[in-house]
Amino acid sequence: MKNEFRDLLTENITESDILLLGVPFDKNASVGKGASLAPQTLRDLSYDLPALDMHGNLLKSKIYDLGDFEADETFSNLAKEMEEKFYSFHDKFHLIFGGDHSIAIASERAFYNECLKNNEEPVIIHIDAHPDICDSYHDSIYSHACPIKRAIDLGYKDYNITLIGVRGFEAQEIETFKKHPTLDVFKAVDVNKLGIEPLLTLLRAKYRDKKYEIHISYDIDANDPSFAPGTGTPEAFGLASIDILNLIRGLVETLNVTSLEIVEVAPPLDVNNITSWLALKTVYELIHSLDIKNAK
Ligand SMILES: [Mn+2]
């Protein structure tokens, strides 16, 4: 066994707190490819990362690595596999390394089904430069520009979807928003003006009820490209890494967040692995939030 994630890794699923899953798939990325290499790159980089956060706290939650799942063309097999072998472990934290953002079509379906089985209301907090609410893009309903539209079609309520960091739109998406006025969109320009705290306050009020179970879908292109150059569709005027980290940590520590995917990290497009390191360091900071939550 390779020493990925060092002391954080366990080979005993029962004693694990976090289940990790890779989906090395980038066929539905529209511009730059390479996100299929992210799961292995992040695992490889973790050999060199001690299990401490940036305050020097020793990380305690344990990761069980399920390895990689293969994506099929319509994501129906992947969604089924995620539901049966990943989200079925209901009390664990679910961490996914993508892949382009189309893999959310599978994860958000599996997450939805698992929440319904447990009488919980599934919520998506989509942190992304793009709304990904196209009905179809480049003649495909499975494009990485479509997962939020697929989530709505599946049955997610508008109130239970929140988009953060958006700044790049397709014209069809503006029309779709008109039909979904209660779907909250916090644009990057507003988040940069107001800061993270008012947004956190608002989201804590919105999803405070225990019935909500939250999946965070984090597209690395939400970050400004100066922080995260290694991604297929870099979009200028983005968010600062520390703001996104504080947002994710603030949500995980105070709300019922049980799932997070990081998508669109594309190592072949990166510079000195800056973007992969950002993704990995964000995960390690998140683990400290889970330690706090689980009082470890
Ligand atoms: Mn996206």
DSSP string, 49-78: --SB-TT-PBP-PPEEEEEE-PPPTTSHHH
Distance 267 CA to ligand 1 centre (A): 17
Give me the sign of the Cα torsion angle 217, 282, 30, 66: negative
Report CA-CA distances (Å) from 143 to 27, 74, 150, 211.
Answer: 9, 10, 10, 31
Cβ neighbors of 121 (< 8 A, separation 6 or more) are: 115, 157, 160, 211, 212, 213
Q: How far is the CA of 7 from the centre of ligand 1 (A)?
A: 32
Cα(89) to centroid of ligand 1, in Å? 26
d(CA 146, ligand 1 centre) in Å: 8
CA dist 67 to 32, 172, 215, Å? 25, 37, 20
Cα separation, 50 vs 46, in Å, equals 8
The pLDDT tens digits for 155-166 are 999 999 999 999
Mark the ranges of the chain whose per-residue pLDDT is less than 70.
1-2
| pTM tops 0.95, yes or no | yes
Phi/psi region, residue 109 (left: phi>0; alpha: psi -120 to 50; beta: rest), is alpha
250 Cα: distance to centroid of ligand 1 (angstroms): 21
With vertex at residue 220, the alpha carbon angle to CA 217 and CA 223, rounded to the nearest 5 degrees, is: 115
Domain ranges within the chain, ordered by starting residue: 6-293
Distance of CA 221 from the midpoint of ligand 1 (Å): 7
What is the SS3 assignment for 133?
coil
Residue closest to 258 by CA, chosen among 206, 228, 293, 223: 293
Ligand 1 centroid, distance to 73 Cα (angstroms): 18
- Centre of ligand 1 to C-alpha 17, Å, is 27
How far is the centre of ligand 1, averaged over its atoms, from the C-alpha of 104 (Å)? 9
Gap from CA of 148 to ligand 1 centroid (Å): 9
What pLDDT score does 296 carry? Answer: 75
Distance from Cα 10 to the centre of ligand 1, integer Å = 31
| Coil, helix or strand at residue 112 | helix
Q: How many whole angstroms separate alpha carbon 58 and alpha carbon 51?
A: 6
Distance between CA atoms of 157 and 183, rounded to whole angstroms? 8
For 14, 17, 85, 216, the CA distances from 61, given in Å and listed in that order, are: 12, 6, 20, 19
pLDDT at 295: 84
Question: 126 C-alpha vs ligand 1 centroid, how far in Å?
Answer: 8
Q: How many angstroms separate the alpha carbon of residue 31 from the centre of ligand 1? A: 12
Residues 6+ apart with CB under 8 A from 36: 24, 25, 26, 99, 100
Task: State both tokens at 287.
Answer: 């683990």
| CATH number for region 6-293 | 3.40.800.10
Q: What pLDDT score was predicted for residue 2?
A: 61
Separation of CA 128 and ligand 1 centre (Å): 5
Determine the distance separating the centroid of ligand 1 and the alpha carbon of 219, expressed in angstroms: 5
Distance CA 1, CA 236 (A): 41
